[in-house]
Amino acid sequence: AQSVTQLDSQVPVFEEAPVELRCNYSSSVSVYLFWYVQYPNQGLQLLLKYLSGSTLVKGINGFEAEFNKSQTSFHLRKPSDHISDTAEYFCAVSDRGSQGNLIFGKGTKLSVKP
Amino acid sequence: DAGVIQSPRHEVTEMGQEVTLRCKPISGHDYLFWYRQTMMRGLELLIYFNNNVPIDDSGMPEDRFSAKMPNASFSTLKIQPSEPRDSAVYFCASSSRGVTYNEQFFGPGTRLTVL
């Protein structure tokens, strides 16, 4: 069975500092990988996704993630944060041959302070 | 496309009352998902449909919860009777395995408060 582990439940950083949100997954088959962001009192929206090809994926708002198959990781990074990045971030995995559902991690709350 | 549409956006009801949440998926999507989000339990998958047929309802908390998808453009999640512990934000999402590669598009959610 697939699973997703987000190693940090909360990550506090200062504005303009770099940040990395960690995500590890467990799957015996090829996968699609996603990062979603949820701003306060809003729904989830897609930040970026890995389907195939280049392992470095760029998303909205300056975020990027790198797929590492050997380490089964898909860590999210941003070189310089803004206060507006304060939100909860969810990593998700889907089996390429699955019925269509995503397995979500428990989320990481990023708090960017001035 | 207008995206996934959910109604109502907010619902306040009293314990014991029936609550019906509604969702209109993105046109052409063949998967529909219902999630519940609370501070204590995080994001939980309740049930999902493929081509209007329920595929996995193992996340439905108990018999008080039921979901239907009578056609490709409409789904309901019903709670009867409602209890205070059902207070949460309920999200609907849709996807298309062949088109979106399982990327799910979420609605804005319904914030349910049961008094």
Instruction: List the 10-49 stretch of B: residues with Cβ below 8 A of A.
Output: 30-31, 33, 42-43, 45, 48
Give the H/E segment covering residue A4: strand A3-5
Residue B102 with chain A: CB contacts under 8 Å: 32, 94, 98, 100-102
Residue B91 with chain A: CB contacts under 8 Å: 43-44
Give the H/E segment covering residue B99: helix B97-100
Q: Where are the alpha helices (DSSP H) in B3-83?
A: none
DSSP A32-61: EEEEEEE-TTS-EEEEEEE-SS-SEEE-GG
What's the rounded mean pLDDT across residues A49-75? 93
Q: Does A90 lie at the interface with B, CB-CB under 8 angstroms?
A: yes
Residue B14: predicted pLDDT: 97
Whether pLDDT at A88 is above 90: yes
| SS3 call for B66 | strand
What's the rounded mean pLDDT across residues B52-66? 93
d(CA B17, CA B13): 7
| Sign of the alpha-carbon torsion through B49, B50, B52, B54 | negative
pLDDT band at A99 (very low <50, low <70, confident <90, very high): low
